[in-house]
Amino acid sequence: MSQNMRDLMRLVESQQLDELQGVKGHAQAAAPLDSHDAVIDYLESKGFKRLGDGEYGGVFDHPSFKGRYVLKVFRDPMYEAFLGYCAKHPQNPHLPKIVGKVMPIGKLAHMVRIERLQDMPKQLFVNLKLDRIVASLEWPPTSHPEQMALQNAIQQGNLHSLYTTLMSLTQAKPGRGRIDLHYGNFMLRGETIVISDPYAGAKTVFKREY
């Protein structure tokens, strides 16, 4: 673990960012900020570059990573469940590779290093008819023409192993979760399609609780 990560964990464990631990009220040092902004400010002060952030977490890069992986800080039980699935299937090429361990930050948040992947162009998502394939996961086609259209999309895109993985993820979906797949949740490792975040349904946001 890098010194920056140790510093972050010590910072959180000292309750300067106590909302990450689900504790209401804020330590004086973090009072003007919500946890989301405080974590971002801290990481950026340590040389991390923010690649993206949202309601349930953020993704960061650092020069020491040398393009090999990124750091994801999150407070999302659905993403945690997905990481558990990935850990059980490390040889599946359609799942992101976890670097090291998932590390807790307080009681609710976590951080993990994930291999660095490339964005999937939206046009590729359209050309491969991945929207049709994703829709079939929860609403399987019932008519023969619809079934043939799905099979043709899988066949033409050579997506058999990806479809098998998607079906398995659907079956392993957490009880309170739902499938949430769009072109932004598919990425690329070279020419291999990688599923980056298939579940939604988190209740605990990565922001200050009032």
**pLDDT for 107-134, tens place per residue?**
667 888 899 999 999 999 999 999 999 9
For 80, the enclosing helix (H) or strand (E) is helix 77-88
pLDDT tier at 27 (50, 70, 90 boundaries)?
very low
Q: What is the pLDDT of residue 35?
A: 57
Q: Distance between CA 100 and CA 24 in Å, rounded?
A: 31
Beta bridge partners of 150: none
Q: What is the pLDDT of residue 76?
A: 85
Q: What angle do CA 53, 58, 61 make, to 5 degrees?
A: 105
CATH T-level topology, domain 3-116: Phosphorylase Kinase; domain 1 (3.30.200)
Average pLDDT, the chain: 79
Contact 122, 128 (CB under 8 A): no
Query: What are the extents of the domains in the chain?
Result: 3-116, 122-200
Q: What single-letter amino acid sits at 34?
A: D
Q: 203 versus 77: which is more confidently predicted? A: 77
Q: What is the pLDDT of residue 201?
A: 79
Q: Distance between CA 176 and CA 203 in Å, rounded?
A: 10
CA separation, residue 134 to residues 24, 62, 95, 98, 124 (Å):
39, 33, 16, 24, 14
Q: What is the mean pLDDT of residues 187-208?
A: 81
Give which of 110, 80, 106 is closest to 17, Cα–Cα. 106
How many CB atoms are closer than 10 A to CB 47? 12
Beta-carbon contacts of residue 173 (< 8 Å; ≥ 6 apart)? 179, 199
Residue 63 pLDDT exceeds 70: yes
